[in-house]
Amino acid sequence: MKEKIGIASDHGGFALKEFLRKSLEESYEMVDYGTKSEESVDYPTIIGDACRKVLSGEVPRLIALCGTGIGASIAANRFKGIRAALCHDEFTAEMSKRHNNANVLVLGGRVLGTDLALRIVKKWIETDFEGGRHQKRLGLIEEQS
């Protein structure tokens, strides 16, 4: 059985979302939460709805995209229990998982090329949470929300 991964974007991240979904669907069950075209939509709605799917357990993790990744990151991090990380390279993707146990990877569809974006996603998927002192720090973050 393939691992489920959610993916969602606004119009600014649509093209990269489609590329990533198609690139990953052979190895993972990609659950597409929209948008379905490059027609303008409001990222807080699309990303918020997708984050609720993570919180409900429908998918264990999510790839979220908008034009720069900034808006999607801000929208996702409004939800208690979501740890969204905007990543621009493989190192930040790795550390977002290893130290912060990010359950949402955020990418900028107008910022990243397809090859780099796919490498970032693969690094994030393949990296495990280290726990230990980082688990304590996540607890401290949760106490503040």
Q: Which amino acids are annotated catalytic?
A: 66, 99
Rounded CA separation 22/40 (Å): 22
Any binding-site annotation on 70? Answer: yes
Any binding-site annotation on 46? Answer: no
Any binding-site annotation on 141? Answer: no
Sign of CA dihedral 90, 96, 101, 105: negative
Any binding-site annotation on 133? Answer: yes
Any binding-site annotation on 32? Answer: no
Any binding-site annotation on 100? Answer: yes
Any binding-site annotation on 83? Answer: no
DSSP 13: G
DSSP 128: P
Query: Nearest 5 degrees, angle CA 114-CA 119-CA 124?
Result: 125
71 backbone dihedrals φ, ψ, rounded to 5°: -60, -45
Binding-site residue ranges for D-ribulose 5-phosphate: 10-11, 67-71, 100, 110, 133, 137
Binding-site residue ranges: 10-11, 67-71, 100, 110, 133, 137
